Amino acid sequence: MKKNIIIIILVLIGMNFSSCKKFLEFEPYGQPNQLSNLTDDQAMQAVYSLFYWQYREGTMGRGFMWFENCSDNLITGRSQAEAQNIKNFIDNGSNSRDVRDNWPQMYQTINYCNQLIKAAPTADKLSPAVRNNVLGHAYFFRAFAYLWLAPWYGDNGPNGGIPIVTENTTIDNIDVPRPESVMANYTMIIEDLEKASELLPYFDEIPSAEWGLMHKTAAWALMARAALYAAQYDNTYYDKVIEYTDRVINSGKHSLVPNYADVFKIENNWSREYIMSVTSTEIDGAKLPGVIFQNGGFGIYNTWGYFQPTLELYNAFEAEDTRRAATILAPGEKVQFVGNEIIWAVNPSSVSSPSALTFRKYLEPFAAADAVGTTVNPNSDNGTTDLNIPIVRYSDVLLMKAEALIWQGKNGDEPLNRVRIRAGLTPKINATKADLKNERRCEFALEFGVFRHLDLVRWGDAKDAYAQPLHGYKVNLGGNGIESLEVIEVWPARTFNPLVHHVFPIPAREVAKSKNLTQNKGY
């Protein structure tokens, strides 16, 4: 059933989205301009096409992971000039790597959502339920697209927000200036998601054949995320974070998977911890699992070896934290890879990761001998798996609430300790900001949506964090295996200018298409 939805989406991608020649001009209001003549089934196909961004390398493969690669969690696993530039805050890198594809892909989504929002209310041939579904998804994904871009490119001055285009924007005026503040984006995002939540069902009301469609608690969780980003500019938004996370918590629809490692197993794609993820299969889906692990996959399966963990991330986990072994593969540890037992950095002894560490988090689909073509894409240039890749998990909701409480000077122990206890850790008493920051770091390493770099920027910690070099291991082998692990520097200290580098440069080709779009200061 999941595969059928993906096939429909892939067909619709080819039908509904054309390349653009002008800023934001993706056949404006051209499709689906016949929504009023569609059947319910055809209208739902229009909804499926809203998911096209999930299957693009520029979003759910490397994409914004190039920006996350700036964080102290990650290093570039392969020699790439553009990747090195991005990590060192040199602007021309982001004009070259596939991170630049996020901007046009998300504005395509915004445009398509605007068309649906404009057409759906008068589509009288649709049943009320389907009309609500179409409209709910249109509001949801318009908000999601703005939220995907705004934290990376917008601020509360001197750059402002990112361009706001709605269903009421005429074609002649589609090249709009940036709003004065990114708060205008966050306000609109929350408003759109509120509308979506009123129109969409709960997840457990969606037929299993349509799992992957959006639902109420996903909208509420993203409202909390938007409010959390807004709170760095206006701390009254912490009240909204608490309000929106409480909606999710009090719904009774979600809980934590008891064992952290099990969250990243195919069997739990639709667990109660799931709130929003990228529906993926061996046909297509999120490409992140194929991006990590050993470059070339030891000749077994061609994984790409890009994003690798630092020793700083490894050491951020407390010794008894079960999340560390579930997240990171360290020298001497074993993993099954397409039926082969790999003893990491021992057999085979040569690894491509400069830190001699790699990520285990998304490797479960690769374990079986018959994985390729069964749970893993037979095309290693499109290394997707049957594992859904999370964008929002229930633990995110709990830690957003804990953060809002702690930043207000209140006690955030209850939601924070629910996450810690699941990780096998002793509960905190009067948890501090430092406790919350490290909890987020360990819980969400290498996950889309909950980015360490954005956290460091909004907390004001990026300058000091990036002034420190990053480390890994040199593995010294002997006749009996690993004789010693030598700590080495794998990335030098960097200069982060908070007045410039708190945002990244808007892709130059998008600025060139526009008369009104201004580049971020300092780039």
Task: Going residue by residue through the chain, which has 523 residues, state the pLDDT in tens, using 9 for 90 and above.
Answer: 566 556 555 555 444 433 222 322 233 333 555 677 888 988 898 899 899 889 888 889 998 999 999 999 999 998 888 889 999 998 777 777 789 999 999 999 999 999 999 999 999 899 999 999 999 999 999 999 999 999 999 999 999 999 999 999 988 889 999 999 999 999 999 999 999 999 999 999 999 999 999 999 999 999 999 999 999 999 999 999 999 999 999 999 999 999 999 999 999 999 999 999 999 999 999 999 999 999 999 999 999 999 999 999 999 999 999 999 999 999 999 999 999 999 999 999 999 999 999 999 999 999 999 999 999 999 999 999 999 999 999 999 999 999 999 999 999 999 999 999 999 999 999 999 999 999 999 999 999 999 999 999 999 999 999 999 999 999 999 988 999 999 999 999 999 999 999 999 999 999 999 999 999 999 9
The answer to whether 303 and 296 are in contact (CB under 8 A) is yes
Burial label, 266 (beta-carbon count in 10 A; 0-12, 13-18, 19+)? middle
3-state helix, strand, coil in the chain (%, to 5): 45, 10, 40
Q: Comparing C-alpha atoms, which of 287, 332, 298, 314 is closest to residue 475?
A: 332
The neighbouring-strand residues paired with 328 are 359
Handedness of CA 251, 214, 121, 147 (dihedral sign): positive
Residue 30 pLDDT? 35
Instruction: Quickly tell me which residue has 């004001």 as its tokens.
Output: 460
Residue 275's pLDDT is what?
A: 98
Closest C-alpha among 211, 175, 200 to residue 4? 211
What does the pLDDT read at residue 129?
95
Residue 403 structure tokens: 């953060």
Strands (DSSP E) contained in 31-159 are 74-76
* Predicted model pTM: 0.94
What pLDDT was estimated at residue 45? 87
Spatial contact of 108 and 26, defined as CB atoms under 8 Å apart: yes
Residue 25 pLDDT: 29
List, in order, residues 6 or more apart from 469 with CB less than 8 Å away.
489, 491, 492, 493
User: Pick from 69, 65, 38, 59: which is nearest to 141 by CA?
Assistant: 59
Distance, in Å, from the CA atom of 127 to the CA atom of 235, rounded to the nearest integer, reads 42
